[in-house]
A and B are shown apart, each in its own frame.
Chain A
Amino acid sequence: MWNFIHKLASPPHFYKLSAKMVPWFTIAGVLLVLYGSIAGLFLAPPDYQQGDAFRIIYVHVPAAYLSMMTYVIMAISAGIGLIWRMKLAHAVAAAAAPLGAWFTFLALITGSIWGRPMWGTWWEWGDPRLTSELIMLFLYFGYMALRNAIDDTVKADRASAVLVLVGAVNVPIIHFSVEWWSSLHQGPTLVREGGPAIQTAMLYPLLAMIFGFTFLFAALLLSRVRTEVLFRERRAHWVRDLVLSAEEAA
């Protein structure tokens, strides 16, 4: 087992193995998202309160879930990187940040588009769910700016890891904001006491979208980690051999 983990964490091995995984994750993600979109847009019945506007849930929830999931992955990776000085872990955190920022942006925008017809407003300053999600967008930006400002990779890894870990308090705040404070935002639909509060014709496409987005995210993250590994190992023999054999340009 340890042998396997050790081997996986070795950069050349990771680089080779991940290349094989990316296409499968992509295919699984595209198929699930295709099914989820078609079923969510056309087959699921309209909501009895929200009409067809509820269909925004099929892009909003996966984006919002991944915006937080990415942060959790970054915090865990940063922690592992700090404690065990594992280079691959820092590479994962660094590679994940732009994806997290994009999904947070998407969650905010689709939420805003959903809020306009349902709440009568695009945005409400001071709303706990909206504000804490916006703070997370700034945490991603801060993380990327900090990394950009430090040339030395090892120092950038450490400083940015501390930033991620400190900012991690925001994740439970986002998650529980709708229960702790009064918010315009509706309560949890899926993860709640008594099981999901949604009928199956609406639920299955949503689950497909959540899993589909997760596969696409995994493919994107792996691709970005590969780039990160290549850069960090740029002085190693295996990278030199790989780069100079021009076939591997793609």
Chain B
Amino acid sequence: MELFAMGEYGAYVWSSFGLTLIVLIVCVVQARRRHRKTISDIRLRLRAMETIE
């Protein structure tokens, strides 16, 4: 476990890496969600137009 201790700086090093991982995951989730939402919005609009016609 010595390896993971990072001397006296464990809290600083691990929080930096952890936060970076979280931000990257959030970026991926945001991008996916937005893509799905855009597609479903466009589909809804097309369906609405079909019913009017």
| Same complex | yes
CA distance A86 to B8 in the complex (A): 53
- Flag if A230 contacts B13 (CB, 8 Å): no
CB-based contact B39/A249 at 8 Å: yes
Residues of A within 8 A of B34 (CB): 224, 227
* Partner pick for B39 among A52, A114, A243, CB 8 A cutoff: A243
Interface centre among B3, B12, B30 (most CB of A within 10 A): B12
Question: Main SS of chain A's interface residues?
Answer: helix
Contact of A53 with B13 in the complex, beta carbons under 8 Å: yes
Query: Using a CB-CB cutoff of 8 Å, which residues 178-218 of chain A contact chain B?
Result: 216
- Assess whether B19 is in contact with A106, with CB atoms less than 8 Å apart: yes
- Report how far A51 CA is from B17 CA in the complex, Å: 17
Are A231 and B38 in touch, CB under 8 angstroms? yes
Q: Is the CB of B43 within 8 A of A110?
A: no
Contact A41 B17, beta carbon cutoff 8 Å: yes
Interface residues in B, total, Cβ within 8 A: 31
Residues in B with CB closer than 8 Å to A41 are 6, 13, 17
Q: Are A227 and B20 in contact (CB under 8 A)?
A: no
SS class of chain B's interface: helix, strand, loop or mixed?
Answer: helix
**Nearest Cβ in chain B — how far from A76, in angstroms?**
21
Given A227-B31, A227-B34: A239 and B19 within 8 A (CB)?
no
Within 8 A of A (CB), among B9-45: 9-10, 12-13, 15-17, 19-20, 23-24, 26-28, 30-32, 34-36, 38-40, 42-43, 45
Q: A interface, how many residues as a size bin? A: 35 or more
> A99 near B: Cβ within 8 Å?
yes
> Would A110 and B20 be within 8 Å (CB), given that A102-B26, A226-B35, A227-B31 are in contact?
yes
User: Which residues, 17 to 47 on A, are CB-close (under 8 Å) to B?
Assistant: 37, 41-42, 46
A149 interface hit (Cβ, 8 Å): no
- A92 located at the interface, meaning its Cβ lies under 8 Å from any Cβ of chain B in the complex: no
Interface, chain A (partner B; CB < 8 A): 37, 41-42, 46, 51-53, 55-56, 58-60, 63, 98-99, 102, 105-106, 109-110, 113-114, 116-117, 216, 220, 223-224, 226-227, 230-231, 234, 239-240, 243-244, 248-250
Interchain residue pairs with CB less than 8 A apart (5): A98-B27, A99-B27, A110-B16, A220-B27, A249-B36
